[in-house]
Structure 1
């Protein structure tokens, strides 16, 4: 993906480097093999823009609207992931939706936690400090009261996973230090209050986890249209039980088979042309996980509807992609640079004679 963002400028740089090196090459240009290699490499560099295709080589008036932002586990560069502090921080970014991970506890409560293998509590809570000789294997081993007795914020300050803790205020550090594992209901209440959508993975360890999750959502009173339902398990049941949920698919074949309108895939799963084709078909395309501004710029030019990001605090302030250039402007620069380079190299060659 990076080459699509940088290819035009890499070619400009390659032409400049080739021009500078030509003086050295010409000193041994009488050798047939060296001359041949130099001419072939030069032709390849001069003509490679014929093969360069970048989404941002478009007219400014053709630039799609800025993709909406979805907070990946909230705003995990500014607060401990999957905590209410993290989701509140993402609200400050103006996110379209909260992205999270849901599991069901022993007492049939839904809570937010990404890790779901044996030792699933150890990375983001102090469970090992409180219970050093016990390993909790799955969500159904623990109750919600037990989960919310754990600290879910100190790890963030200690490990500084995104090297951002130094940027936090003293107040934010204190808030982070006192975070606990939220229930899904708490997140739904926050989303309802601010009219923000919720999308989540459901890490199920029980047969009825889908039903429990749907019941909690419906009982919360949140508008069904704010729920972006992603889990594929028992999707037909969910459609019948909660017809107002927005059904989101994680691959194009399922989307087509269900005449869906929402696709959620990795940022490198679709070509620029495919993204634009889907948009023409009124399909909203969300791409994950997009943290860098250059990548966000590229997907903006390509026509992504939204992106899931860890760095909403950075992307929210972008008013335009890093660069946009019309194909005609690019061609003019390309040809002009090539011509200038050739003329300089001819002069250098003549001087060498």
Structure 2
């Protein structure tokens, strides 16, 4: 036994089982059990980490939901990501040490502390997966459409590396167990090698088709540019117009006690607590006059909380400007709309505790009084659209029902990004439907929707998406097929070589054992 071999054995045994010596004979039959436990923990933790990275697009929604429950600014999503990253690293390290021990023909014994940590982690991750399956399963499906070609290549590489251990287990197994090992390995291998037949990604296209038929989706600023300035403030909309090349402003409107529409998203209990310095408890916009609302600071929270970890990008002057932002009226935004000729689309919000009877009428009156071009107003269908049509027919109607737009070519559709499949987007675009999806912040999701030919997206990250000149990746179908076939063929050739290598090693081992038997008998005599 070499010094390196001995060190590897001792280090892996110390980390895995906290023992310097081999486990007792009574523990040796647990190797398969412990290896399975560690493998399951590693696979689940890697999936949890992958899902966190995918759902990162919706992190603001998660943090807002936590705030609505605990009334404190906590970056809960980042905390969850750190926990899952630590657990994933821990489980993968355990698995690597287990593989080292198996390669060195060591018997495994998992220390009871490792068992407890893995069990707790599996319980937490299982709960996370249940939540994900209920709330975020569609974004995971979309991510697979985007990442599937690369995940398949990674799976082929992992299968090739692990085949060494499978082949050794096959050679050392009893005759009845060999059939089971071979059957399972062949089924898994066939699935991994052939799964590209099931992969359908809109980014598998010719580059010339992208440049010819798929212009970059337009950007709608979600509450302005909330990564560059406090959301729903004039600074946010100004920076969005000047730095993000926005095609439209998206905002939220409520009506004050004295009938003045103003910009504010939160509309349920304690609706001012998240983004202002209000001290009293208010549950309804009708409890305050606009003069009172104007006295509230709507910018300091942005620098204190740093919701998107982007405050460091602001200059000293920009930080001072952000700190002094107030709650703007709808009229202020309409003046900005006229200045930049950028349309505005808004949700008309009102708490259930409020009397919102005249909110629509008052909002329409404010728009008319501002003398803004009516074609710059995108009126969402859910905001009493039919009633608005009786007042004015000039506003651009935007619908949130796919079935309506299927019957009205040329209409505008505004939906959450997870409510349409890539094929549905393409079919709607063929019917000349303008499709806007919200809220899209990550490059991979924007790239996927770009390949699907979406018209526009509502985003918090306008400054990042505005810099993209093309999707992060596209690949010609013929090139992907060639890469797939070559990767599979190379993997199969390597695994054949590994199989015969293991077979040769096993036979030499059997011969050495047979040669030792007479010597053992002589010594015993």
- Superposed, 1:232-271 pairs within 5 Å as 232-256=382-406, 261-271=411-421
Question: Residues 100, 301 of structure 1: CA spacing in aligned structure 2 closer, same or farther, 3 A cutoff?
Answer: same
Query: In structure 1, what is the Cα distance between the partners aligned to 2:267 and 2:410?
Result: 29
Deviation, 1:215, is 1.1
Correspondence for 2:498: 348
Identify the range of structure 1 (218-227 vs 306-315) with the bigger mean alpha-carbon deviation: 218-227
Query: In structure 1, what is the Cα distance between the partners aligned to 2:478 and 2:390?
Result: 52
2:265 to 107, 114, 119: 114
Correspondence for 2:232: 82
Correspondence for 2:32: none
Indicate conservation of the 8 Å contact 1:73/1:98, yes or no.
yes
In structure 1, the residue corresponding to 2:262 is in which secondary structure?
strand
Establish whether residue 322 from structure 1 lines up as the match of residue 472 from structure 2. Answer: yes
Deviation, 1:236, is 1.7
Indicate conservation of the 8 Å contact 2:249/2:342, yes or no.
yes
Establish whether residue 55 from structure 1 lines up as the match of residue 205 from structure 2. Answer: no
Indicate conservation of the 8 Å contact 1:248/1:260, yes or no.
no
Query: In structure 1, what is the Cα distance between the partners aligned to 2:486 and 2:474?
Result: 19
Correspondence for 1:305: 455
Identify the range of structure 1 (328-337 vs 256-265) with the bigger mean alpha-carbon deviation: 256-265
Correspondence for 2:324: 178
Indicate conservation of the 8 Å contact 2:220/2:246, yes or no.
yes
After superposition, the C-alpha distances for 1:30-86 in whole angstroms (9 at most, x for unaligned) are: 422111111110000000000011110111122211100000001111110000000
Question: Residues 258, 143 of structure 1: CA spacing in aligned structure 2 closer, same or farther, 3 A cutoff?
Answer: farther
Which portions of structure 1, spanning 4 or more consecutive aligned residues, are displaced by more than 4 angstroms? 256-260
CA RMSD of aligned residues (A): 1.3
After superposition, the C-alpha distances for 1:201-221 in whole angstroms (9 at most, x for unaligned) are: 001342111111111111111
1:167 to 313, 323, 333: 313
Establish whether residue 101 from structure 1 lines up as the match of residue 252 from structure 2. Answer: yes
Q: Number of residues paired by the alignment?
A: 348
After superposition, the C-alpha distances for 1:132-163 in whole angstroms (9 at most, x for unaligned) are: xx321211111111111111101111111111
After superposition, the C-alpha distances for 1:256-315 in whole angstroms (9 at most, x for unaligned) are: 466661111111110111000000111011011001011110111011100000000110
After superposition, the C-alpha distances for 1:89-147 in whole angstroms (9 at most, x for unaligned) are: 1111000111000001111100000011121111111111xxxxx32121111111111
In structure 2, the residue corresponding to 1:222 is in which secondary structure?
coil
Answer with 1 or 2: which has the greater Rg. Answer: 2
1:34 to 161, 181, 184: 181
Indicate conservation of the 8 Å contact 2:406/2:428, yes or no.
no
Indicate conservation of the 8 Å contact 1:59/1:327, yes or no.
yes
Query: In structure 2, what is the Cα distance between the partners aligned to 1:5 and 1:258?
Result: 30
In structure 1, the residue corresponding to 2:345 is in which secondary structure?
strand
Establish whether residue 153 from structure 1 lines up as the match of residue 299 from structure 2. Answer: yes
Query: In structure 2, what is the Cα distance between the partners aligned to 1:10 and 1:254?
Result: 37
Deviation, 1:241, is 2.3
Indicate conservation of the 8 Å contact 2:409/2:432, yes or no.
no
In structure 2, the residue corresponding to 1:163 is in which secondary structure?
coil
Correspondence for 1:131: none
Indicate conservation of the 8 Å contact 1:224/1:242, yes or no.
no
Query: In structure 2, what is the Cα distance between the partners aligned to 1:79 and 1:15?
Result: 45
Indicate conservation of the 8 Å contact 2:224/2:231, yes or no.
yes
Long gaps (5+) in structure 1: 129-133
Query: In structure 1, what is the Cα distance between the partners aligned to 2:467 and 2:275?
Result: 29
Question: Residues 142, 259 of structure 1: CA spacing in aligned structure 2 closer, same or farther, 3 A cutoff?
Answer: farther
TM-score (norm 1): 0.96
Query: In structure 2, what is the Cα distance between the partners aligned to 1:20 and 1:260?
Result: 53
Correspondence for 2:88: none
Long gaps (5+) in structure 2: 1-141, 172-177, 504-525
Identify the range of structure 1 (232-241 vs 136-145) with the bigger mean alpha-carbon deviation: 232-241
Query: In structure 2, what is the Cα distance between the partners aligned to 1:105 and 1:257?
Result: 38
Query: In structure 1, what is the Cα distance between the partners aligned to 2:436 and 2:163?
Result: 47
Query: In structure 1, what is the Cα distance between the partners aligned to 2:207 and 2:434?
Result: 22
